[in-house]
Each structure stands twice: as C-alpha cells, then as structure tokens.
Amino acid sequence: MTNRTTNQGIEEASRIMERFAERTGLTSERPPQRYLWTDAFAVCNFLGLSAATGDQQYTELALRLVDQVHRVLGRYRDDDGRTGWVSGLGEGDAEAHPTRGGLRIGKKSPERRPGEVFDDRLEWDRDGQYFHYLTKWMHALDQVSRAVRQAHFNLWARELAVAAHHAFVQAGPERTRRRMAWKMSADLSRVLVPSMGHHDPLDGFITCAELEMTARGLPSTPRGPDLEAALTDFAALLDDARHSTIDPLGLGGLLTDACHVAQMMRHGAFRSGALLDGLLAAALDGLVHYLRLDDLRQPASRRLAFRELGLAIGLSAIELIARDVPLMSLDAVVGPRIRERLTVLRRYAALGSELESFWLDPEQQRFESWSEHRDINEVMLATRLVPLGFLGLSAP
C-alpha cells in the first residue's frame, strides 16, 4: 500500500501526528485549533498508530481529541453572539449527548449572518456545518467505538447522523423530490449554501449503514436513534450516473466508500454487489479522465496536496477490496465485473506511491500551497502512510 517499508511509514506518521497534536493544542498549552475534517482523519490515524505499534498513548490521544472536538466545535464560537452548545442543550445533557446539534466546521471566519449578502469567495472561509464533514466525524467516532469497544461513541455517531439527516435533507423546490443542502448554519436552522454536494447522499447512506452494523455487533449498545428513515432518504437520493468525478479528492472518496462497502459485504450487507460494482466503475471512469488532465504535471506551488492525498488514500484501498472479494458470495454477473474492474484499478496503485513520495519531499513542502493548509495536508499524508485506522473496519 505504500512504497516505504511498514516501519518507515509508521515512524513518519508518528512524527507527523505528534507534531500536529502539539501544534494544534492537543498536547500543549496552545489554544485548541480544531477543524472537523482534519480532526476526523487525525482520530483514525491515532487509532491506526496504536494498532500498528501497540502503544496505547495513541488511543489516549484519539480519545482526548474526540473530547476536545466536541467541546470546541460542539459549542458556539467566542465571537458569536450566541453562547453554549449548538444543540441548545444544557451543560449536563450536552456533555452526555455532544453531537445532537451537529458540529461546526471550524473555519476561520464566523458564519454569514441572516440577511448578509452571499459572497462565494468569502463563504469558503466562513463557519457553519458541512454534511460531508459530519459523515467523516461519524466514521471517526465509529472507529473509536470499534477500537475501544465502548458503545457510547457509536451512539454519538448515530445521534449526529439523525441531526444531520433532519437538517440537510429537505424538500425540493416543487416539493416533489427531496434534496440535500451543502452547508447549514452552526445551529442547523438556516441553509447557507443550497446546492447539493456531489457525493453527500452516498456518504450518508454508506456511513449510516456502517453505524447500524457496528451497533448490532457491540455489547450492551444503548438504545438510541433508528437510522432507517435516514437510510431510506439517502438511498432515494442516490444517482449512479452522478458518482463519477474527476476531482482527485472525490475519486479517493469513491474508493474509500468502496472499501467500506466491501468490508460490510463480508458481514452480509449489500448482498447483490451492485453498489460495490457501481462505485468501482465510477472510480475507474474518473481515474481515466483525471489522468488525461495535466494536473499532476504542474509544480507543487499550483497543486493542493490534501486533494491529491485523498486520492492516494483511496488507492491504498484497492488491495483491501481485492482481499475481501474472494470472501463474498457474488452472483455470476456482478462477480466477474467486480474482479475485472479491480484488475484494471490495480494498475493505478503505483500512482498512490508516486503521490506519497512527491508530498513527502521537503522540497515540495516549501510552497505556500503546502503551508497554508499544513494541518490537513500533514494529517492526510499520515493517513496514506498508516491507512488502516481510516480504511479498516475492525470487527465490532
């Protein structure tokens, strides 16, 4: 999965994650700098390092990060006129259910105020809630639940899934079809960007299925929200024709989703194999078109590392999927198609190693395009180096 030896990858990932923890206030006296997407990958990385090294300090860092994210991003910003938890719950209830109101993105600027004119450029730096960040955090919480075998992390993930489904899935303009908003306000009361994220329904569907599977497998799972309504809505919103993308981060997401689907299939989910087949087909189609572009021939100063590293992480998943396929009961039509797609996808695996080596090179990290996004770049590079904390679904 990487062109570095396992030990080299673990050691490099450890250095990256320990620097990140110190720099962002997790293991230092610095003010906490929390950002939901980056922190979701970081939690998984700490779990992966703990499994790879046997060092429980990394599990402790994962648990500490979960707590800090909830206490920072589950509450309003200091420069917001509102105070307390975004859920509106009192301190005791909010600490027991920290995800019931969702979690802020953690952007540098406050969210757009009601009545304030929309500015597409400024909106990228404004706070609020993104659905695709919430699904990443659901997955991180679920991975913690599996790793430490404590069901309340899965419960928090399911409570977050219900809050996100309720807020982001809305009636369309003619109320004939439901659709999803891309960005909501911090309290989930207002739509900030109404367009639907390309893979948001897919992320919601697969993540909710994962959470339900974990809940069934954990001992003494507390009674919590049923995700059946969310699964039904997300399934209805899926559109196979729209899965293809030439965005490298989106391509990595398709392969990651395929990896999680393949692992769930071993436990009896998605029996037909159609979902896995569709994800692999979309990923393969997108890769072919992406590599016809000249993006990877550009200098580092004109590239975004975290987007390319998202693809590299997804390419790490190909061998995991290939490992699981022989353990599946696939029919005579879908089975050969899946195996054929994997054979072709394996030819692209070396691209992941090339991207990894490129962004590990200090010479490529000296540009503003790297330093401006240092946290997310470094954390996703560590995910590529030790991917199982994020990609693997260990037995609950």
User: pLDDT tens digits, residue range 142-153?
Assistant: 999 999 999 999
Cβ pair 203, 132 in contact under 8 A: yes
Lowest mean pLDDT among 17-31, 170-184, 293-307: 170-184
Phi/psi region, residue 149 (left: phi>0; alpha: psi -120 to 50; beta: rest), is left
For residue 126, what are the β-bridge partners? 109
Q: Is the pLDDT of residue 241 over 60?
A: no
3-class secondary structure, 305:
helix
- φ, ψ at 171 (rounded to 5°): -70, 145
The pair of three-digit structure tokens given for residue 359, joined into one six-digit string: 């962004």
Average confidence score pLDDT of the chain: 94
3-class secondary structure, 178:
strand
Task: Say how many C-beta atoms besides its own lie within 10 A of residue 146's C-beta.
Answer: 21
Q: Is the pLDDT of residue 2 over 50?
A: no
Structural domain boundaries in the chain: 83-112+127-238
* pLDDT of res. 396: 64
Cβ pair 373, 355 in contact under 8 A: no
Alpha-carbon gap, residue 324 to 286, rounded angstroms: 23
Query: End-to-end alpha-carbon separation of the chain, Å?
Result: 24
* pLDDT of res. 1: 43
Alpha-carbon gap, residue 102 to 91, rounded angstroms: 15
* pLDDT of res. 57: 98
| Verdict on whether the full-model pTM lies above 0.85 | yes
* pLDDT of res. 146: 95
The pair of three-digit structure tokens given for residue 205, joined into one six-digit string: 């569907």
Distance of CA 232 to the CA centre of its chain: 21
* pLDDT of res. 3: 44
Q: Could you read off the pLDDT of 281-334 as tens digits, one per residue?
A: 999 999 999 999 989 999 999 999 999 999 999 999 999 999 999 888 888 899
Average pLDDT of span 24-32: 97
Lowest mean pLDDT among 4-8, 162-166, 209-213, 385-389: 4-8
Alpha-carbon gap, residue 59 to 56, rounded angstroms: 5
**Total residue count of the chain as it appears in this document:** 396
Alpha-carbon gap, residue 153 to 368, rounded angstroms: 37
Average pLDDT of span 31-53: 97
Distance of CA 346 to the CA centre of its chain: 23
